[in-house]
Amino acid sequence: MRILAIQGSPRVNKNTDILLDKFLDGIKDKNEKCKINKIFLQEKNLQWCKACNACKNKEIGHCIINDDMQEIYPLISDANILVLATPVYWWSMSAQLKTFIDRIYGLSNKKQLKGKKCVLLMTYGGALPNEGPRIVEETIKEICNYIGLKLVDVYGVCTDEEVQVSDNLKVQEEAYKLGYNI
């Protein structure tokens, strides 16, 4: 099993990052031989998609932007499971994750993602019911359908100043079990 974990929060060791790590701990504990690559998007030099469609052009067939995404593409191709972790900001995924998602658009042309599994992990603030997580889930679901990924699990956690993931053992255990059972 080969996992590519995309950490889309700009903050390290905070809610989204801790949730992702607990999920990955569950995977590691069940499958010691699994290979996990975790990418912290905030530390990467990722340019925005230019909408040039070179990635869809049969003669070119790949993204022509020369940035850190070129190192990530082979990891995407190698992975069996893509884990997307994001905070929900303003009814949407983080800008970091959105940039990453935009840049994998061209992979659907080559069917590189077809049949791979995808997991979405979200953290969000605000009172429930909260439309933000539903909108992010629907967006990711539609993107997965378009590019050939199979969205197999979605897990969202409501956080606020009083209930952080680092202090919520129930949430940590649920994320761990989700990873363990993937």
At 152, which CATH number? Answer: 3.40.50.360
CA distance 143 to 151: 10
> What are 162's two structure tokens?
């009083």
Q: What confidence tens digit (pLDDT) does each residue in 112-132 have?
A: 888 899 999 999 987 666 889
Report residue 111's pLDDT band, with 50, 70 and 90 as the boundaries.
confident
The overall average pLDDT reported for the chain is 93
Residue partners of 134: CB distance under 8 A and separation at least 6 = none
Kindly report the pTM of this predicted structure: 0.95
Q: What confidence tens digit (pLDDT) does each residue in 64-77 have?
A: 999 999 999 999 99
Enumerate helices (H) and strands (E) in the chain, giving the number of each.
6, 5
- Total domain count for the chain? 1
pLDDT, greater one: 161 or 70:
70
Strand, coil or helix: what is 27? helix
> Which domain, by its residues, includes 12?
2-180
Strand, coil or helix: what is 119? strand
